[in-house]
């Protein structure tokens, strides 16, 4: 036999054996120094996945920055970032790959430090199973509870509790039994279906690859044999068909397909499907792939579907089995895990991404926070980094979803800050609040067009933002007087006036400031709807909230006017004596002193009070309004 024929035969035999292997994705978690990285390093090392050059680099590294003296420090294999090596800790999720004769594994090594809980949730979101480490000397810690709760909340049903460092407690059976009993008692509050508790020593290799002679009292499986055989399959094929449309595929006028990854269920040509949220139906014509058309496609497959009818479908829509549609709502309750240094602020607008859809949304109410140590609920105004809470969400548009408990793929979402674009939170949908279905906007016979036409003007919201004492009220009042002389219909909303009435229940902390602006934004919107030229004079320090009001208004109706006066000048003027009080510490959270002001990046009108007189600045605003035809009757 030629060398190559031998290669072909060997290779095919090998590939055959590989094809039959299943994949297990698991996370390791637990408190700091419980030995997670060491355990993974041990698994990689013992399953012969470390190459010679990596091993020699490891030996050198172990001597330089290892914590095990002359011995190999397995943790260095996985702690990849310079900061981690210096501090001897894990600070970010690391993904590792290894294979045994029976199975392929992807393991996410997640950090134990509290501030990195968000990374632990990241690892959990993609895992079938969790290995939770407990240091035999310490027993259960706060982090053990926290990670167990997150593991359970993110839908993992099977866990291994690896009681590690058994070598350091003399392989004592009683110590192990006590920790096992503690854990099982605690876990009764969680949703695990299987808990396997195994005594191990990752460093010494006890009960990792095979049962250890040091613990003959233990008659359960060793860690790896358990991981190789545990059944984590989930029957997603039996669920109703759902596929989020990612991309509309139009190579030419004759082809229009909808590309996406099937979340669950099976689809075949001839199946009746519905596009949600629109509710329009059609029949599957073909399932197109590069490798040919398919007779059927199932969960996880990335395909392109063509339909028999030309119905309007775009990215973000979901194709579902017609007879078994998903839920549609714009008012939902969800569990949210906060992932950012800046607290969640109810009332602030975030972008919600679920599936292939992005929609602006507001947390209308934080119902309660969950203490992940005691699993008790607590009231709260905001969520801080790593806190979990139950929230009501209000979306600007309807989305297609299912409760996370019923369908993971259709029930998860992330929250994105609209200004920085950071991913600030993740969530799991609980259920629709259904209020959205009951509130139907009254179609009125007199609408905004009629109201503004009779006033010979197009309504707008002139939003004046600037520091306290910058001259907002002066210019607002002068502008209103001028417009009134021109027979225009106006109204001025002033920060101080509104705070004495409508918003007197609100203070000056960030959450209250956001709610203050939200209310004023809603009122401005109603005023504009009434056909008025609405002048709003508000410090409104945050870019996000001004953006929220802009989005609330009809397109083109929101005019941001930046009253730009340097802080020193405002402080010098100090018309109400507030800066002095703030400097003296009598007033807290005063904008410009101990609370931020975020100036507009590109305001529609930039008023520099130190360069022009108030009269000249009012002229400038009037010119703007005339140029954009706000001072004329609208045309249909």
Backbone phi and psi for residue 216, each to the nearest 5 degrees, phi listed first: -65, -20
Residue 195 near residue 161 (C-beta atoms within 8 A): yes
**Are 267 and 273 a contacting pair, CB within 8 Å?**
yes
Least distance in angstroms from the C-beta of 60 to another protein: 8
Would you give the binding string for another protein spanning residues 353-382, x where CB under 8 A is met?
Answer: xxxx--------------------------
Using the minimum distance from each CB to another protein, give the nearer residue, 93 or 548: 93
Whether residue 277 has a cis bond before it, omega within 30° of 0: yes
Kindly indicate which of the ranges 92-100, 167-175, 223-231, 616-624 contains the residues binding another protein, using the contact rule CB under 8 A. Answer: 92-100
CB 289 within 8 A of CB 304: yes
Is 540 an active-site residue?
yes
Which of the stretches 53-61, 137-145, 461-469, 551-559 binds another protein when contact is defined by CB under 8 A?
A: 53-61
Q: How far is the CB of 377 from another protein (least distance, A)?
A: 24
Angle between helices 173-187 and 142-153 (to 10 degrees): 50
Please give the residues from 207 up to 236 whose contact with another protein meets the rule CB under 8 A. Answer: none
Size of the chain, expressed as the number of residues it contains: 636
Region 231-260 residues binding another protein, contact defined as CB under 8 A: 237, 246-247, 249-251, 255, 257, 259-260
The footprint of another protein on residues 406-445 (CB under 8 A) is 408-409, 412-414, 416, 421-423, 426
Choosing from 17, 63, 71, 83, the residue that interacts with another protein (CB under 8 A) is 83
Query: Least Å distance between CB 223 and another protein?
Result: 21
3-state secondary structure string across 28-52: EEECCCCCHHHHHHHHHHHCCCCCH
Look up residue 292 and give its DSSP letter: -
Is the distance from CB of 166 to CB of 200 less than 8 angstroms?
yes
DSSP string, 50-74: S-HHHHHHHHHHHHHH-SSTTS--T
Q: Which of the residues 453 through 512 are near another protein (CB under 8 A)?
A: none
Among the listed residues 91, 141, 230, 478, the single contact to another protein using CB under 8 A: 91
Kindly write out the interface string for residues 298-317 of this chain, putting x where it contacts another protein by CB under 8 A and - elsewhere: xxxxx-x----------x--
Closest to 105 (Cα-Cα) out of 1, 201, 223: 223
State in angstroms the smallest separation of the CB of 545 from another protein. Answer: 18
CA dist list (Å): 356 to 401, 403, 423, 503: 11, 17, 15, 38
Of the two residues 268 and 450, which places its CB atom closer to another protein in the complex? 268
DSSP class of residue 267 equals B
Q: Which of residues 109-168 bind another protein (CB under 8 A)?
A: 118-119, 121-122, 125-126
* Set 31, 152, 540, 555: catalytic member: 540
Minimum distance from CB of 14 to another protein (Å)?
A: 7
Helix (H) or strand (E) holding 536: strand 533-537
Nearer residue to another protein within complex by CB, 105 or 183: 105
> What angle is formed at CA 121 by the lines to CA 115 and CA 126, rounded to 5 degrees?
150
95 near another protein (CB under 8 A) = yes
| 310 vs 305: CA distance, rounded Å | 13
Which residues are part of the catalytic machinery?
A: 540
């Amino acid at each position: 036999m030629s060398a190559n024929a031998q290669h072909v035969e060997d290779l095919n035999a090998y590939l055959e054996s590989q094809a039959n292997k299943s994949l297990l994705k698991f996370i390791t978690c637990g408190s700091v120094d419980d030995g997670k990285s060491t355990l993974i390093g041990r698994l990689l090392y013992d399953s012969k996945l470390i190459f010679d050059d990596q091993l020699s680099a490891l030996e050198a590294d172990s001597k330089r920055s290892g914590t095990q003296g002359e011995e190999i420090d397995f943790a260095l294999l996985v702690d990849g970032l310079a900061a981690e090596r210096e501090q001897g800790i894990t600070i970010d999720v690391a993904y590792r790959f290894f294979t045994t004769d029976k199975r392929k594994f992807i393991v996410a090594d997640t950090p134990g430090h509290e501030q990195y809980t968000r990374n632990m949730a990241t690892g959990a979101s993609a895992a079938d199973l969790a290995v939770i480490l407990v240091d035999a000397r310490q027993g259960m810690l706060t982090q053990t509870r926290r990670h167990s709760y997150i593991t359970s909340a993110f839908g993992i049903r099977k866990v291994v509790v690896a009681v590690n460092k058994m070598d350091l407690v003399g392989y004592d059976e009683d110590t192990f039994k006590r920790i096992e009993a503690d854990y099982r008692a605690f876990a009764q509050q969680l949703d695990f279906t299987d808990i396997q508790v195994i005594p191990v020593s990752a460093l010494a290799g006890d009960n990792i690859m095979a049962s250890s002679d040091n613990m003959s009292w233990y008659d359960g499986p060793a860690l790896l044999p358990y991981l190789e055989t545990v059944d984590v399959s989930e029957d997603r094929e039996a669920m109703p068909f759902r596929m989020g449309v990612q991309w509309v595929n139009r190579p030419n006028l004759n082809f229009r397909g909808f590309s996406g990854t099937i979340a669950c269920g099976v689809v075949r040509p001839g199946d009746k499907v519905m596009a949600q949220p629109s509710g329009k139906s059609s029949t599957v014509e073909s399932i197109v792939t590069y490798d040919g058309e398919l007779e059927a496609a199932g969960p996880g497959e990335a395909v392109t579907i063509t339909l028999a009818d030309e119905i309007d479908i775009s990215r973000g829509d979901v194709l579902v089995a017609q007879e078994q549609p998903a839920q549609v709502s714009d008012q939902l309750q969800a569990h949210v895990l906060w992932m950012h240094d800046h607290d969640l602020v109810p009332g602030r607008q975030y972008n919600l991404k679920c599936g292939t859809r992005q929609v602006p949304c507001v947390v209308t109410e934080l119902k309660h926070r969950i203490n992940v140590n005691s699993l008790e609920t607590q009231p709260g105004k905001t969520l801080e980094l790593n806190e979990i809470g139950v929230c009501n969400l209000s979306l600007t548009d309807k989305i297609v979803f299912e409760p996370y408990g019923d369908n993971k793929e259709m029930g998860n979402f992330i929250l994105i800050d609209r200004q920085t674009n950071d991913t600030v939170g993740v969530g799991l949908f609980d259920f629709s609040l259904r209020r959205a279905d009951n509130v139907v906007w009254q179609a009125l016979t007199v609408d905004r067009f009629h109201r503004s036409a009779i006033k010979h003007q197009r309504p707008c919201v002139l939003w004046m933002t600037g520091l306290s004492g910058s001259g907002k009220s002066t210019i607002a009042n002068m502008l209103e007087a001028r417009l009134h002389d021109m027979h225009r219909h106006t109204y001025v909303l002033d920060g101080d006036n509104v705070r004495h009435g409508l918003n007197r229940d609100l203070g000056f902390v960030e959450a209250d400031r956001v709610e203050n602006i939200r209310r004023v934004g809603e009122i401005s919107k109603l005023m504009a709807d009434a056909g008025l030229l609405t002048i709003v004079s508000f410090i409104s320090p945050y870019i996000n909230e001004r953006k929220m009001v802009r989005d609330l208004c009809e397109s083109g109706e929101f005019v941001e006017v930046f009253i730009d006066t340097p802080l020193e000048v405002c402080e010098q003027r100090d018309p109400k004596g507030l800066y002095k009080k703030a400097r003296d510490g009598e007033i807290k959270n005063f904008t410009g002193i101990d609370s931020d002001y975020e100036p507009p990046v590109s305001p529609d009108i930039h008023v520099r009070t130190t360069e022009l007189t108030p009269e000249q600045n009012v002229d400038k605003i009037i010119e703007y309004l005339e140029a954009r035809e706000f001072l004329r009757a609208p045309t249909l």
